[in-house]
Chain A
Amino acid sequence: MSDAKPLDARARMIARAARELTAGMVVNLGIGLPTKVINHLPADLPVCLHTENGMTGIGATLPYERADRNLIDAGGAYVSPIPGSAYFDSAVSFALVRSGRLDLTMLGAFEVAQNGDLANWKIPGKFSPGAGGAIELAQKARRVVVMTTHTDRHGNPKLLQQCTLPLTAQRRVARIFTDLAVIDVTAHGFELCELATGVTVQEVTEATGAPLIVPDTDIPTF
């Protein structure tokens, strides 16, 4: 018997989402799950990571013993520079976002609608901390993808016909990575692209709160 532990569903999702980053991209990874993809990126992948608080060229996250008190990412993690990193103020940071220089942003979500609407910043009456930079990232990155668990902690679907929560941006999400599947947002709604290992089409359909288009072809697994 092998001692190697199989990847759990969460780690598998993160590893799959990491493959969305390709050579040459400028990428912003949202706070929470998306920043976890950093640890899954090949060391030789030429990619430029941006963070809202004013840095391009983010390197490895540092343990606290080696941290620099003046060097964090937007989520407060202690990060390191790499050769070619740059620091800049918050106006420059969002000039980069709004002018279309971000090839990709990967964000977390409370809800995603089948038309690509995203809600990820406010649950009225429960959680209203403010949107930070999420609205600009979602509205202006050239490609917006989401990484989230397929359902919330009560088992309710997060992929819906319509969002019920206040929106972050309208019709901007192109692809969703979950613990069950990779799903594209198409002109006709959600379309199943890939299945997590051991997950059936029926399980994905039942966990999705909107119609799911399932291609006739073989569905790849991740």
Chain B
Amino acid sequence: MSLPDKTTTIEAAVARIPDGATIMVGGFGVPGTPFTLIRELVRQGQKDLTLIKNDANETGMGIDLLIANGQVKTLISTHIGLNANAISALNSGRIRVEFCAQGILAERIRAGGAGLAAIVTDIGLGTELAEGKQVVEMNGKRLLVENALRADVALIHADRADPFGNLTYAATARNFNPLMAMAAKMVIAEVETLGPLGSLSPEAVETPGAFVDHVAELFEISEDYGIVRR
């Protein structure tokens, strides 16, 4: 018995994304952002996208390119403060932004990936983030209902992979990637190093390949990962 081969190219994988798709995008700041998949999505030009991402990257990189190109309708995020373009797109009404507390965004995605409908939490009670949300009482406490999130597509950046889609991540490039890799109908991983089946120790695998649909090896690492002076 052997495991299926899911390897493909960046172009072919992104070509499967339709207009109007809801797309989860991994990354927290630069590490873990699938810059090559994003640039290909900009090139192919799919429209009316809903993006789910921790942040809006910085001006001129990552999902900022999709926003600047008019491809994004809605962004579900936790913090867009490092991207002045995204803030001005929000302020001018060019995109709609739904803000979510960071760990609650992670947990809504994890719940979606685990086949659950929602989570209940006290996070955000007494703040603006509670406005318009369903409140339930459990054990004498008021709690907010936060719906689980699933997407049509997840764009993942992994450090190492095998052809079946078993994935590992580097340092703080994990962030939302392992969670989003469980929470979409179609999971596309760009990977820095692709090895043969058996090249990853089963104990080292962080995302089991059964969650992953397409694996595209990166033959060069995007310049967007370059170290910058701050």
- Could you tell me the distance in whole angstroms from the C-beta of B123 to the nearest C-beta in chain A? 6
- Could you tell me the distance in whole angstroms from the C-beta of A41 to the nearest C-beta in chain B? 21
Tell whether B171 is near chain A: CB-to-CB under 8 Å: yes
For the complex, what is the distance from the CA of A89 to the CA of B107, rounded to whole Å? Answer: 11
Tell whether B87 is near chain A: CB-to-CB under 8 Å: yes
On chain B, the residues within 8 Å of A133 by CB distance are 78, 101-103
On chain A, the residues within 8 Å of B155 by CB distance are none
Contact mask A160-187 → B, CB, 8 Å, 1/0?
A: 0000001111100000000000000000
- Could you tell me the distance in whole angstroms from the C-beta of B132 to the nearest C-beta in chain A? 15
Interface residues of A in 49-88 (CB under 8 A from B): 51-55, 64, 67-74, 76-78, 81, 87-88
Query: What band does the interface of chain B fall in when counting residues whose beta carbon is under 8 Å from A?
Result: 35 or more
Residue of A nearest to B129 (CB): A135
Contact mask B58-85 → A, CB, 8 Å, 1/0?
A: 0000000000000000000111111000
Contact mask B197-230 → A, CB, 8 Å, 1/0?
A: 0000000000000000000000000000111111
Please state if A69 and B175 are interface contacts (CB–CB under 8 Å). Answer: no
For the complex, what is the distance from the CA of A3 to the CA of B124, rounded to whole Å? Answer: 51
A67, A91, A168: the one within 8 Å of B103 (CB): A91
On chain B, the residues within 8 Å of A136 by CB distance are 101-104, 123
Contact mask A132-164 → B, CB, 8 Å, 1/0?
A: 110110011000000000000000000000000
Tell whether A93 is near chain B: CB-to-CB under 8 Å: yes
Contact mask B105-136 → A, CB, 8 Å, 1/0?
A: 11101100000000001111011110000000
Residue of A nearest to B99 (CB): A130
Please state if A89 and B179 are interface contacts (CB–CB under 8 Å). Answer: yes
Please state if A90 and B127 are interface contacts (CB–CB under 8 Å). Answer: no
A93-B103, A139-B123 are contacts. A69–B31 as well, Cβ < 8 Å?
Answer: yes
Q: How many residues does chain A have at the interface if contact means C-beta atoms less than 8 Å apart?
A: 45
Please state if A169 and B80 are interface contacts (CB–CB under 8 Å). Answer: no
Tell whether B176 is near chain A: CB-to-CB under 8 Å: yes
Tell whether A101 is near chain B: CB-to-CB under 8 Å: no
A136-B104, A166-B127 are contacts. A67–B122 as well, Cβ < 8 Å?
Answer: no
For the complex, what is the distance from the CA of A129 to the CA of B123, rounded to whole Å? Answer: 18
Please state if A129 and B87 are interface contacts (CB–CB under 8 Å). Answer: yes
A53-B29, A94-B103 are contacts. A129–B172 as well, Cβ < 8 Å?
Answer: no
Tell whether A195 is near chain B: CB-to-CB under 8 Å: no
Please state if A94 and B106 are interface contacts (CB–CB under 8 Å). Answer: yes
Please state if B176 and A90 are interface contacts (CB–CB under 8 Å). Answer: yes
On chain B, the residues within 8 Å of A55 by CB distance are 171-172
A70, A168, A170: the one within 8 Å of B172 (CB): A70
Please state if A130 and B227 are interface contacts (CB–CB under 8 Å). Answer: no
Residue of A nearest to B97 (CB): A130
On chain A, the residues within 8 Å of B229 by CB distance are 64
Tell whether B30 is near chain A: CB-to-CB under 8 Å: yes
Tell whether B166 is near chain A: CB-to-CB under 8 Å: no
On chain A, the residues within 8 Å of B80 by CB distance are 129-130
On chain B, the residues within 8 Å of A132 by CB distance are 78-79, 81, 102
Please state if B102 and A52 are interface contacts (CB–CB under 8 Å). Answer: yes
Residue of B nearest to A127 (CB): B81
Tell whether A45 is near chain B: CB-to-CB under 8 Å: no
Tell whether A199 is near chain B: CB-to-CB under 8 Å: no
A94-B107, A135-B123 are contacts. A72–B31 as well, Cβ < 8 Å?
Answer: yes
Tell whether A97 is near chain B: CB-to-CB under 8 Å: yes
Instruction: Report which B residues bind A (CB closer than 8 A).
Output: 28-32, 54, 77-82, 87, 90, 97, 99, 101-107, 109-110, 121-124, 126-129, 159, 170-179, 225-230
Closest 4 CB pairs of A and B: A94-B103, A129-B81, A132-B79, A133-B102
